[in-house]
Structure 1
Amino acid sequence: MRPLPPDAAELLTTLHAQPRLVAHLRAVHDVACQLVDWVTRHHPTATFDREAVLFGAATHDIGKVEHPAELSGPGSAHEPAGHALLRHHGVPERLARFAGTHGSWSSATTFEELLVSLADKVWKAKRVEDLEHLVTTHLATVGGREPWDVFLALDDELDRIAARADERLAFQASCPIAG
C-alpha cells in the first residue's frame, strides 16, 4: 500500500490517531490512488483536483479520533467532528470537506467527493449502485461517451480493486483499535 500524503500522516501523528484508523485511512487512500490513476488514463478529459481526492481519502474518517466507538461500530458523529478538526488544524476547506461529505452523496456532490466516497466503499469490496451511477454519469458526460460503455469499464476496474479487499481488511484488522 502506498504511504499517506506527508501532511496527512503528520496530522494523524499529531492527533495520536489510533493504529486501526491509520490503517483504514491508508487502505482507502491506496484505493483512491488507483481510482484517480484509472480516471486519468481512461478519461483524460475529466478534470478534477487529484491532491484533494488523495488528501480527502487519507483523512476522511479523522473525526474517529474524537469518536473512537465508531472505529468498530456504526455512527456518523465523526463526520462533522472530522471536518471541524481539520479546519481547526488549518486544513483548507477544499481539503477538509471530505471528512464531512464522504458518507453521503447526491447529484450536487463534486466529482472529487464522489471519488472519495467510492474509494471508501470499494476498498472493502462494497458496491453501491447509485454512487457508481453518479461517477459513470459524470465521466460519460465530460467524455462524450455512452454511459453503458463507461460503466462497463468502471465495473471492471472496481472488480479488480475489490478483488484485493480481503488483503486490505486483514491489514486493517492486524492493527489495534487503541494506541
Structure 2
Amino acid sequence: MTPSDALLRALHGPADPPLRPLPATVADLLRALDAPPRLAAHLRAVHDVAVQLVDWLEHHRPELGADREAVLFGAATHDIGKTVHVAELSGPGSRHEEAGRDLLLARGFGPDLARFAGMHGSWTAPGTTLEDLLVSTADKVWKNKRVPELEDLLLARLAKASGRARWEEYLLLDDLLGRIGEGADRRLAFQAAFPVSA
C-alpha cells in the first residue's frame, strides 16, 4: 500500500467506531498537502467527536447558538500544522499551532476559521469563544481525556445560557462525555493503524 492509499483510507475508509468523513474542503486540503495518514485519521476522529458535541448542544442548549460549521471546520483542521511539524504527531510540541494558523491563512481561509489551529491548546486565552471550547473539548475527549479546567469553562457557558445550577449542567455534560469516551480505545486504534510519515 502506498502512502497516498493510506491517506485515502484514513480519510474515507471504514472505521470502528464508524467515523463521519471530514468536510470535503478539508479532505481536499489534506490530499494537496500530502498529509501524514495518521494526522488525517486523528483529524477525522476529533471531527466526529465534535459532531457529537454540537449535535448534543443544539438539542440541549440551542439558545447558545454555536456556529456548527466553524466548530466542525476547527475540529477537522486543529492540528493541520503537524503537516509542517510532523515530529509533533508522535511527540510533544506546540509549534504546529502557529504553523497551522499560518498555513490556513496562506491557503485562503479567513482568520475566523484559521484561529482554531492556533488556539486549540489555549482555552483560557482572552476572547475564547464557545466554539473554541468545543474544539478543544473534542480534541481531548476523543481519547477519553477529561480536563476539569476546560470542562468548567464550558459548564459556565451552559449554566449561564440555561439559568440552571452548574451541577445540573455538569450531570448532563458528564453523561455525554462519558458516552463519547467509551469509544476512545477504538478511535485510538484506528489512528494508530496509520503511518506517521506521508
Cα offset for 1:108?
A: 3.5
So what's the TM-score if we normalise by structure 2? 0.89
The separation in 2 between residues aligned to 1:68 and 1:95, in whole angstroms, is: 22
Determine the structure 2 residue equivalent to 1:12.
30
Cα offset for 1:152?
A: 0.6
Determine the structure 2 residue equivalent to 1:129.
148
Determine the structure 2 residue equivalent to 1:156.
175
Determine the structure 2 residue equivalent to 1:51.
69
Determine the structure 1 residue equivalent to 2:79.
61
Count of aligned pairs: 179
Cα offset for 1:146?
A: 1.2
The separation in 1 between residues aligned to 2:25 and 2:127, in whole angstroms, is: 28
Residue 107 of structure 2, aligned match among 89, 94, 99: 89
Cα offset for 1:72?
A: 0.1
State the SS of the aligned residue for 1:94: helix
So what's the TM-score if we normalise by structure 1? 0.98
The separation in 2 between residues aligned to 1:5 and 1:145, in whole angstroms, is: 35
The separation in 2 between residues aligned to 1:44 and 1:80, in whole angstroms, is: 32
- What CA deviation, in whole Å up to 9, does each residue of 1:64-110 have, x standing for no partner? 00000000000000000000000000011111100000011116410
Alignment of 1:63-78 (within 5 A): 63-78=81-96
Structure 2 gaps of 5+ residues are: 1-18
Determine the structure 2 residue equivalent to 1:166.
185
Residue 24 of structure 1, aligned match among 35, 38, 42: 42
Cα offset for 1:46?
A: 1.1
The separation in 1 between residues aligned to 2:121 and 2:101, in whole angstroms, is: 12
Amino acid at match of 1:94: D
The separation in 2 between residues aligned to 1:49 and 1:15, in whole angstroms, is: 27
Determine the structure 2 residue equivalent to 1:35.
53
- What CA deviation, in whole Å up to 9, does each residue of 1:123-143 have, x standing for no partner? 000000010000011011012
Q: Percent identity?
A: 62
State the SS of the aligned residue for 1:45: helix
The separation in 1 between residues aligned to 2:106 and 2:185, in whole angstroms, is: 35
The separation in 1 between residues aligned to 2:65 and 2:165, in whole angstroms, is: 18
